[in-house]
A and B are shown apart, each in its own frame.
Chain A
Amino acid sequence: MTIVVVCVAASATELIARARVIAQAARVISLCTEAEGDNRAYIACGADEIVCIPYRDDPCAQGTLIADALEKLKPDAALFPATVHGRFLSAWAAAKLQTGLTADCTGLSLTEEGNLLQTRPAFGGNLTAQILCKNHRPQMASVRPGVFPPAVPTECEANIPLRALPLQTVKRFLEPVAFTPSEDIVPLQSAGIVVTGGKGIGGKSGFETLSELAGLLGGALGATRGAVDAGWIGYAHQVGQTGVAVRPKLYLAFGVSGMVQHIAGMNGAETVIAVNNDRLAPIFDYADYGIVADWRETAETMIRYLKERKEEK
């Protein structure tokens, strides 16, 4: 069995490590573009081989090259990091190859027959679906950064040979014009503490309270898809299957019901505290501590407590 991991974002190392776990005997190929810096990291994370293809500053052309490379490598499976760029490349390449693609997988394993069993939240995000692509190759899947644990690199040789693949020439589709860096990057993924608000917090003003709490805790402010779709807060704050997957030490969920698509983005947290006035909310099944109470009173009690602690110090 051969698994290709398309290395177009840093989280590709998580996928290489995962590929190693699910198929110990498999050949794991790291497919890189020439723009990638330290290729050795991929070997250290478990790849057997690095195949290098030309870099294009044009996602459509890059996707065509990746499809061509997969056509030549003929792997059983191809995994993509589900960044904006990575998921575009995966969709573009899957259509060229006329094969199946499952977006934002939260679980990958092998069936007894050796097919890739792909798990993802589905149907509005409140059910978990298991998906197979039995009759087409490669079986393609994308995975959000942070969904699988980070790879633990091992020592490896200094000079790893790169295999270059001769590929077709591709026309240019898109011309880059300008890049404007975001002023408001939400450090959700690196945050040790995440404070998240859901539809239950009622509106924009709820996030002001939670923002104060997050600030006092030195944490980042998260939101559920429902709160983002309602326009209460920017998409950059979204935690979940189609937002950011976080793995903080402490996760506080206020007014979050606990839909499957949200659980997919926070269940890697070390400790989870859920606050909801509905004692039957599913979020409590994924929390270590549950407070059945009004979210605002609870948040304000926490804020007062943290302010008092600060003054004591």
Chain B
Amino acid sequence: MRKFTGCLFALALGGGCLAQQWDVGVAGGLEIYKNLTVTNGSDQATAGFKPGLVVSAFAAQDLYQHLGGEIRYDFGLADMKESSGGTSVDFGAQTHAIHYDFMLYGARRDAKVRPFLLAGGGIKIYRGTGQEQEFQPLAEFAILSKTKQIEGLITAGGGVKFQVGQRKFVYLEVIDFITRTPQNVIAPYPPSTISGWVHGFAPMVALSFGF
């Protein structure tokens, strides 16, 4: 009864119970975006973001032996880019992402090495921060703009969680941040259109502390 009660307590209080299974950490890596295609009649250009540093803060918990979750904030410094033919243009940009991911582990929670898959969702904010000009090259395709836009975020990825100390963990992971194209920030100039979704692949290393 007591044990049951304890489990019930754990389920009821969640964090308090899981607090014993939490780890919080920071991560860093490089976010690599997949190019988008901008079409203007028969002409095409590629637009998107340049690879950029991404840093994260997260709090992960083990819900079960093989299921966990994390809530995570990611800040990315990835300039926008656009190119066509021999012309290219860059435009400063930042991203902010907040998402919750479920993590499916391939090993029990007390294992030293725990491969995992993750999937989740949240929001991602794109902010153009570059210097506006009366004319931006390749503007006939899309205009990289100094504005902000919030898009829904889907995350998917995987990695390995290593326990490197009594309360220390290291993550090696890859996350794909998936959003719709932020068409105010990367604004297609009529009649141009942009197709596809934004994929930001971010291989990262994370260090966390359990408690």
A and B bind: no
Residues on A close to B: CB < 8 A? none
Residues on B close to A: CB < 8 A? none
